[in-house]
Amino acid sequence: MRDKELIVKVCSGTGSVSAGGAEVLQAFENLGSSYGIETGFKNGCRTQKVGCRGFCSRDVLVDVILDGEKITYEGIKPDMVPRIFEEHIIQGRPVLEWVAGDEHKKFHSGQTKVVLSLCGEIDPEELDAYVAAGGYETSLKAYTQLSPEEIIEGIKRSNLRGRGGAGFPAGHKWEFARKTRSDKKYVICNGNESDPGAFADRCIMEGDPHSIIEGMMICARAIGADKGYIYVRDSYALAVKRLRRALEQCYEQGLLGKNLFDSGLDLDIRLYPAPGAFICGEATALLKVIEGKRAMPVPRMHRTAEKGLWERPTIVNNAETLANVPRIMSRGAEWFAGLGTETSGGTKVFSLTGKVKNTGLVEIPLGMTLREIIHDIGGGISNGKSFKAVQLGGPTGGCIPESFLDHQVDYESLALAGTIMGSGGMVVFDQDTCMVDTSKFFLEITQAESCGKCTPCRIGIRRMYEILDRITKGKGRLWDIELLEELGTHIRTTSLCGFGMTAPNPVLSTIRHFRDEYAVHIKDKKCPALVCKDLLSFSCIQENCTGCGMCKKVCPADAIRGIRKKPHKIDQQLCIKCGSCIDACKFGAIHIE
């Protein structure tokens, strides 16, 4: 029998599963079974599904760990597995052309994994794997050795701030709930994450669900709660599945329920899958849903930590915030605080997407610059194009230009730039992005997601969208920019909840940083990025046109005129500006402006 151990770990988050991760895992399991007796590896071939590895643009990612030596493969498909098994596992020669290279190393080298430290390392569906990694040791300590005040003081010293939006200090929020007298208190994990391009919370819930449960347990001990809810959008099917299994395991092993750790304290945590509405990211709207009511925010006459669910003190933290708690309790508040800035402790997970080479999930220490994230970790702008802006904070965030790339990422710096941290969406735009059209896109989302309760948000956002729509169609008026600024300011200051207060951010930030682009749309009736269809004109460059007729064949509006082997022309009255002629022309004869 060989004196070697073989472990194969296959990335099995949602992104990887959609790329064929389940089939890759099955292929390794099948081959492991068929080769097992013949090859005689110690303990056989141990295959494991693991959470998101982060480098999503190179899925499916696979680790082959042979006698402690790990080789990572990227872009693996099921039909590639036999060769890996034969050449690497059996013959001991890694398949070098599939091995993750310099880009993989560069992507991970600039990161600091805290929340994501176990994602991609352990099987998220196995309680024993989490326990073996030190899981539930800190909750045991919290319930048997520490007082609530000691726990809260540690969270305060760590400078942990809420990772789901405005960044309110978590320790202070917990302290408010602790000091409020009540016969009942609640702790809620907000897993509703609904920003376009954001998937950090989803990956944590899928890849390390027990860390969230343990964070809730410690929070419950700190504030005196005996009931908790994990609110998660039901479209996150894999996250729902793994959270449900994790809760079942905790109840089976006595980690939840009555008399936790023989402390005399009880804690019941229930999963609450619900249709994902953007407005439910607002705490009071989320609480109304759990109460069985419509998702509508209410004026915050009291903090939810003092009067929340069913008028009782309630802590609402997002998944990433809670997943940080066991790490802080384990390694110390000072360690966590030292990872970030003076006012923002620890790390932040971002979903890096858009026009960047290496898309995926990144975890960086707060204080790192945007340039380091986008160009060093992300590999820079794809297709050799130039950077234009980066959008943070989702539809209610803002767009930051190149002049801010060397600013550090923390709550205060982003606020000065005109945006928010949000739940971690980071969308990169290149030179081909129209900032006016981008603002219009985000306002289309926010006007649809507004609960409609207050007039400034319900009517104001609609009016801003109508103005942007007019500008992108060449019907803008000279005073529209100032009108947008005035409307945005009023909506910010008079809306009922945080949703309305931040909804104008995309427009106000793009006007602040890209005002000239708005002016060109209005005065010159042109779109510099060539995106706004109504402002474009297509023409045929006569000296380049060979008269091949390909553009004429594909034109759905029959707008191209000409005879074979003679230069053609485009009828501007008939042209619908679909771009089919550009795709068909092999001679660069179609000009667009």
For every residue of 267-311, DSSP letters joined together read: BEEEEEEE---GGGGSHHHHHHHHTTS-------SS-TTTS-GGG
Distance between CA atoms of 187 and 435, rounded to whole angstroms?
Answer: 40
The model's pLDDT over 82-101, given as tens digits with 9 standing for 90+, comes to 999 888 888 888 999 999 88
Question: For residue 1, what pLDDT is reported?
Answer: 40
Element holding 62 (H helix, E strand): strand 62-66
Q: Which residues pair with 188 in a beta bridge?
A: 229, 316
Question: For residue 39, what pLDDT is reported?
Answer: 53
Q: Which residues pair with 119 in a beta bridge?
A: none
Domains and CATH numbers, the chain: 5-100 (3.40.30.10), 127-339 (3.40.50.11540), 435-524 (1.20.1440.230), 537-592 (3.30.70.20)
Q: Both ends of the chain: CA-CA distance in Å? A: 71
Question: For residue 165, what pLDDT is reported?
Answer: 73
Residues 6+ apart with CB under 8 A from 403: 513
Strands 5-11 and 62-66, bridge-based pairing: antiparallel
Question: For residue 68, what pLDDT is reported?
Answer: 81
| Phi and psi angles of residue 104, each rounded to the nearest 5 degrees, phi first | -65, -45
Question: For residue 41, what pLDDT is reported?
Answer: 60
- In 3D space, the residue among 353, 358, 336 whose CA is nearest the CA of residue 345 turns out to be 336
- In 3D space, the residue among 165, 170, 241 whose CA is nearest the CA of residue 207 turns out to be 241
Question: For residue 170, what pLDDT is reported?
Answer: 92
Walking along the chain (593 residues) 10 residues at a time, the average pLDDT comes out as 74 88 88 61 74 87 88 92 88 89 87 92 93 94 95 94 84 93 94 77 93 96 95 89 96 94 94 79 82 79 84 92 95 93 90 90 92 92 90 84 89 83 85 91 85 83 92 90 92 83 88 92 89 83 82 82 83 80 80 78
Distance between CA atoms of 85 and 27, rounded to whole angstroms?
Answer: 10
SS3 content of the chain, % helix, strand, coil (to 5): 45, 15, 35
Question: For residue 6, what pLDDT is reported?
Answer: 80
Question: Before 60, cis peptide (omega within 30)?
Answer: yes
Question: For residue 315, what pLDDT is reported?
Answer: 93
pTM above 0.85, yes or no: yes
- In 3D space, the residue among 193, 191, 211, 194 whose CA is nearest the CA of residue 124 turns out to be 211
Q: At what angle do helices 148-158 and 170-179 cross, to 10 degrees?
A: 160
The model's pLDDT over 269-303, given as tens digits with 9 standing for 90+, comes to 999 988 767 777 778 888 888 888 887 777 766 78
| Phi and psi angles of residue 66, each rounded to the nearest 5 degrees, phi first | -110, 110
Distance between CA atoms of 487 and 507, rounded to whole angstroms?
Answer: 10
Distance between CA atoms of 107 and 357, rounded to whole angstroms?
Answer: 10
Contacts 24+ apart (CB under 8 A), 328-333: 328/154, 328/155, 328/158, 328/160, 329/138, 329/141, 329/142, 329/151, 329/154, 329/218, 330/134, 330/137, 330/138, 332/154, 333/154, 333/155, 333/156, 333/157, 333/158
C-alpha distances in Å from residue 480, one per residue of 4, 314, 467, 510, 521: 71, 43, 7, 14, 11
